[in-house]
Structure 1
Amino acid sequence: MHILAFDQTTLASRSDWSVLRPLLGQSVVQTLQMVLITIVVGGFLGLILGVILYGTRPGNLFENRYVYRILDILVNIIRPIPFIIFLAAMQPLTIKVIGTSIGTAAAIFPMCVMCTFATSRLVEQNLVPVDPGVIEAARSMGASKFTIIRTVLIPEALAPLILAYAFLFIGVLDMSAMAGYIGGGGLGNFAIAYGYQKFDQTVTWTAVIIMILLVQVVQSIANAIAKHLLRRTQNN
């Protein structure tokens, strides 16, 4: 009887994973979809906003203390809001833009907005240490402001910016884990719905380990690229 009970338990466990395995695969795809779209859209818009923040600072390329102050306050207001609260606050706007407040697309929109403001501050902070002498040299040679940004400012700060975006990836992955609250799916929802709520630590830790591996892969790639760029800069 004991052996029979053990076999039945084992079969039940295998049966569970035969159902859970496709759900896990779907959750991984949903997480990657949310994270990659957010990083591309929010990261690009945040880069633009960050350059504007840097450029409008006193003494910089297009100094404008009023624009800088307004943007600085706006970033400081939005960035500290916990994402789960931000999701609820953005719901009316999400419905107007996306047409619904439920699902993966409805999660991606507020994620992109939050990512934009988070990225802008990271970009600004990594552009500030760029040597002003290099920028002044480019200006003295008649380079336009846009040319300076594209060929001098961004390349000079490229290595730390890549590391900053790797750090941002972790934050966006964390946001995607909260998307389950609005039916966005993903690994966070998988861990809560099939692990935490059903007291199955194996499911929970499976999702956790996959997220850790994603972070490790992205961080390793970012470190390698940044190291290569820094080495090339030092050789030049």
Structure 2
Amino acid sequence: MWAQLSRVLFNSFLETLYMVGMSSTISFICGIPLGVFLHVTAKGEILERPKVNGVLSAVVNAARSTPFIILMVLLIPVTRMIVGTSIGINAAVVPLAVAAIPFVGRIVEGALKEVDRGVVEAAQSMGATPRQIIGKVLLPEALPAIISGLTLAVINLIGYSAMAGAVGGGGLGDLAIRYGYQRFRMDIMFATVVILIAMVQLCQALGDRMAGKARKS
């Protein structure tokens, strides 16, 4: 029996990796530019657009304040339109990514705010364009903080993926509910928790190492 359960655990682990990996990639691709835009369009910044920034900030805040389980339900029509179904690991990627994008955006925005204003002003005095300031000053200077923040985002997505599994998203959360809770198998519940903790620990260790290397470079 344990041989069969081991295969099920391994498959659920792979499903969780897929959900977290895909949603992380999408959230990074969309969230990092979002965070940069939020920063550079703020009052007093290099591309100041207060009205645009205010509207976008309100949208980001609204998305961040929506509980994930509610967000999943609200996005069911969108999820069906994109992947053709509202259950399964592919369907879970949609709300996971949508939940993570504003979070990543705020992380990047916060990291860029910590960059010394004098460095930006020095680049401006030398005639650097806004694109050059973003690519050669802001992002390199904020890279360690951005990496640490993105690590936190991935860890949050691991937790969200387990929650998505509880409502038909697949992965370790689905396994814990169907095999552990509903069949009163505490050993399976324990195994899924151990795997999730190990994933978080490994992710945190890798993120800390990458951030450390970025600080030294």
- Is TM more than 0.5 here? yes
Instruction: Tell me how far apart the structure 1 counterparts of residues 95 and 124 of structure 2 sit (CA, whole Å).
Output: 38
SS of corresponding position for 2:65: coil
**Pairing 1:159–2:182 present:** no
1:190-219 Cα deviation digits (max 9, x unpaired): 111111221111111111111111111111
Determine the structure 2 residue equivalent to 1:23.
8
**Pairing 1:131–2:116 present:** yes
8 Å Cα contact 2:167-2:174 kept in structure 1: no
Letter in 2 for 1:176: S
Instruction: Tell me how far apart the structure 1 counterparts of residues 165 and 208 of structure 2 sit (CA, whole Å).
Output: 31
Letter in 2 for 1:198: R
1:43-64 Cα deviation digits (max 9, x unpaired): 2210010000011110101100
5+ long unaligned stretches in structure 2: none
Instruction: Tell me how far apart the structure 2 counterparts of residues 95 and 225 of structure 1 sit (CA, whole Å).
Output: 37
Which 4+ residue blocks in structure 1 deviate beyond 6 angstroms? none
Give, in angstroms, the shift of residue 107 of structure 1.
0.8
Determine the structure 2 residue equivalent to 1:7.
none
Q: In structure 1, which of residues 148, 171, 174 is the aligned counterpart of residue 159 of structure 2?
A: 174
Determine the structure 2 residue equivalent to 1:79.
64
Q: In structure 2, which of residues 183, 207, 212 is the aligned counterpart of residue 222 of structure 1?
A: 207
CA RMSD of aligned residues (A): 1.2
**Pairing 1:147–2:132 present:** yes
Letter in 2 for 1:93: V
Determine the structure 1 residue equivalent to 2:89.
104
How many residues are treated as equivalent by the alignment?
A: 217
Instruction: Tell me how far apart the structure 2 counterparts of residues 221 and 175 of structure 1 sit (CA, whole Å).
Output: 20
8 Å Cα contact 1:103-1:182 kept in structure 2: no
Instruction: Tell me how far apart the structure 2 counterparts of residues 98 and 66 of structure 1 sit (CA, whole Å).
Output: 35
Q: In structure 2, which of residues 169, 174, 177 is the aligned counterpart of residue 192 of structure 1?
A: 177
Alignment of 1:206-221 (within 5 A): 206-221=191-206
**Which stretch has the larger CA shift, 26-35 or 142-151?**
142-151
SS of corresponding position for 1:187: helix
Determine the structure 1 residue equivalent to 2:51.
66
8 Å Cα contact 1:107-1:182 kept in structure 2: no
Q: Percent identity?
A: 40
8 Å Cα contact 1:180-1:188 kept in structure 2: yes
Determine the structure 2 residue equivalent to 1:52.
37
Q: TM-score, structure 2 length as denominator?
A: 0.96
Give, in angstroms, the shift of residue 106 of structure 1.
0.9
Letter in 2 for 1:223: D
Determine the structure 1 residue equivalent to 2:75.
90
**Structure having the higher Rg:** 1
Instruction: Tell me how far apart the structure 2 counterparts of residues 198 and 210 of structure 1 sit (CA, whole Å).
Output: 19
Determine the structure 2 residue equivalent to 1:117.
102
Give, in angstroms, the shift of residue 229 of structure 1.
2.5
Q: TM-score, structure 1 length as denominator?
A: 0.88
5+ long unaligned stretches in structure 1: 1-14
